């Protein structure tokens, strides 16, 4: 083992050299800061520092789980994430497949540009747009509802509309961008297979099912595994900005709770503990999804 490392080290030293900056980056910016994670177990006082603040063990975790609303917050996080994944994951694949089948190059480019564009808008702008579009008095959505004789709906104040609004806007803003990786996978599919299929008399539908999809399946699996790693970490800004008094029941998630406790109430240690727990769940999810994927399709991250 050691010997083989030595041998490859001598042989490919230039490649290893190229690896160093990235490795250094990860050590400095990702691993060293983990020393600070211990404040989740301590009563952190800046002056005493990470090592000398009094040790509290699992106090903060106990406190979180004995907190009245903790389960509701966890449940909200999971529901919103699952819904989000359910829609924002398959739709880019669908879009990529559609674009791939498209023959008119100019139109295809147009569609691509239009669907990418929202990716570059900041969350604050997107939420501002949602609020403006959904306003019961002046919003465009309600104007349309009124034209068809319906009653205007105050979307932002309805608990049942929070999740749909979140997911729809998320799909709108990420679909085009996320389809890029699938499009690039599609260009890698061997054209000879399509030709062979056509000669054998396969319809377009059949080539899609039998050739295109299986060819990009590894990419899809990998992307799914990576996405599962983010299940618990919903974007904080968007949920927080969309929160109103009336949807608070469903819009209070772990990340907004961490903000409330850590930043607004300056309980750094408590917030870190909740954040740490959150990351732990993500970590377990990635590992297990990776393991399942390995068993089922022999595709995995490692």
Partner 1 sequence: MKKLVSLLLALILLCGCAALADAGIVTASGFPVVTEPITFTVMASQSAIQPDFSTMVIIPVYDEMTGIKIDWQCVASSVRSEKISAAVTSSEMPDIFFKCNISAANLQKYGAQGAIVDLAPYLEEYAPNFWAYAQENPDVLAAVTTPDGQIYSLPAIADAPATRMNKKLYYNKVWMDKLGLEQPTTLDELYDFLYAMRYNDPNGNGEIDEVPMSETTGTLFQVFGGLFGVGNRGTHSSYYDMDTETGMVRYSYTSDAFRECLEFMHKCYEEGLIDQECITAKDSRYTALAAQDQLGCYFATNLALLAAKDAENFVPAEGWIEGAVWPTMRSHLHSVGAFVVTSKCENVEAALRWVDYFYTDEGVTFYHYGIEGQTYVKNEDGSLSFTPEILAQVTGDKSYDEVVSQVGPYCGGNNPTMMSWPGYAGAELSPIPMASAEAILPYTPDVIWPIFTYTDEELKIVNSTGSDLNTYAKKTAVEFLTGERELNDEEWSAFLAQCDEMGVAQMLEVMEGVIDRVEAIMGTR
By CB under 8 A, tell whether 249 contacts partner 1. yes
Helix (H, G, I), strand (E, B) or coil at 42: strand
**Which CA distances in Å does 167 have to 8, 77, 191, 263?**
48, 13, 36, 27
The count of chain residues that interact with partner 1, using the rule CB under 8 A, is: 27
Pairwise CA distance, residues 267 & 256, whole Å: 14
**Least distance (Å) between residue 108 CB and partner 1:** 39
Binding residues among 169-228 for partner 1 as defined by CB under 8 A: none
C-beta of 46 vs 188, nearer to partner 1: 46
How many C-beta atoms surround the C-beta of residue 221 within 10 A?
Answer: 21
By CB under 8 A, tell whether 123 contacts partner 1. no
By CB under 8 A, tell whether 47 contacts partner 1. yes
Among residues 4, 122, 191, 266, which is the contact residue for partner 1, using CB under 8 A? 266
Pairwise CA distance, residues 134 & 154, whole Å: 7
By CB under 8 A, tell whether 244 contacts partner 1. yes
By CB under 8 A, tell whether 29 contacts partner 1. no
Binding residues among 125-144 for partner 1 as defined by CB under 8 A: 131, 135-137
Binding residues among 83-122 for partner 1 as defined by CB under 8 A: none
Q: Which of 196, 31, 28, 179 is nearest to 112 (CA)?
A: 179
By CB under 8 A, tell whether 67 contacts partner 1. yes
Q: Which of 195, 190, 226, 218 is nearest to 297 (CA)?
A: 218
Pairwise CA distance, residues 286 & 226, whole Å: 7
Binding part of the chain for partner 1, among 9-17, 45-53, 93-101, 178-186 by CB under 8 A, reads 45-53
By CB under 8 A, tell whether 267 contacts partner 1. yes
Among residues 7, 16, 24, 49, which is the contact residue for partner 1, using CB under 8 A? 49
By CB under 8 A, tell whether 238 contacts partner 1. no
Count of alpha carbons within 13 Å of 292, Cβ hemisphere only? Answer: 9
Q: Which of 213, 187, 254 is nearest to 93 (CA)?
A: 213
Binding part of the chain for partner 1, among 6-14, 154-162, 167-175, 191-199 by CB under 8 A, reads 154-162
Helix (H, G, I), strand (E, B) or coil at 55: strand
Among residues 196, 248, 284, 296, which is the contact residue for partner 1, using CB under 8 A? 248
Q: Which of 285, 232, 282, 230 is nearest to 258 (CA)?
A: 232
By CB under 8 A, tell whether 163 contacts partner 1. no
Residues at the interface with partner 1 (CB under 8 A): 45-49, 63, 67-69, 131, 135-137, 154, 156-157, 244-246, 248-249, 252, 260-261, 265-267
């Amino acid at each position: 083992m050691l010997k083989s490392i030595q041998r490859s080290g001598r042989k490919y030293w230039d490649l290893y050299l190229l690896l160093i900056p990235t490795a250094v980056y990860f050590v400095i910016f990702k691993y060293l800061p983990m020393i600070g994670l211990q404040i989740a177990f301590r009563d952190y006082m800046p002056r005493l520092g990470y090592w000398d603040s009094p040790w509290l063990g699992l106090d903060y975790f106990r406190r979180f789980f004995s907190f009245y609303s903790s389960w509701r917050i966890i449940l909200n996080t999971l529901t919103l994430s699952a819904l989000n994944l359910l829609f924002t994951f398959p739709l880019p694949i669908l879009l990529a497949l559609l674009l791939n089948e498209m023959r008119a190059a100019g139109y295809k480019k147009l569609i691509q540009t239009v669907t990418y564009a929202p990716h570059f808008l900041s969350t604050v702008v997107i939420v501002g747009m949602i609020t403006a579009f959904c306003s019961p008095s002046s919003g465009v959505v309600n104007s349309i509802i009124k034209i068809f004789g319906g009653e205007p709906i105050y979307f932002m104040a309805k608990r049942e509309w929070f999740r749909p609004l979140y997911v729809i806007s998320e799909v709108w803003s990420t679909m085009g961008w996320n389809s890029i990786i699938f499009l690039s996978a599609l260009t890698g599919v061997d054209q000879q297979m399509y030709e062979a299929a056509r000669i054998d008399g396969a319809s377009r539908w059949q080539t899609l099912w039998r050739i295109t999809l299986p060819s990009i399946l590894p990419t899809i699996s990998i992307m799914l595994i990576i996405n599962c790693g983010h299940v618990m970490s919903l974007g904080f800004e968007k949920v927080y900005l969309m929160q109103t008094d009336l949807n608070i029941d469903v819009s209070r998630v772990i990340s907004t709770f961490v903000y409330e406790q850590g930043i607004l109430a300056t309980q750094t240690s408590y917030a870190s503990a909740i954040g740490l727990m959150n990351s732990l769940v993500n970590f377990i999810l990635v590992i297990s999804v990776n393991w399942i994927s390995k068993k089922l399709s022999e595709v995995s991250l490692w």
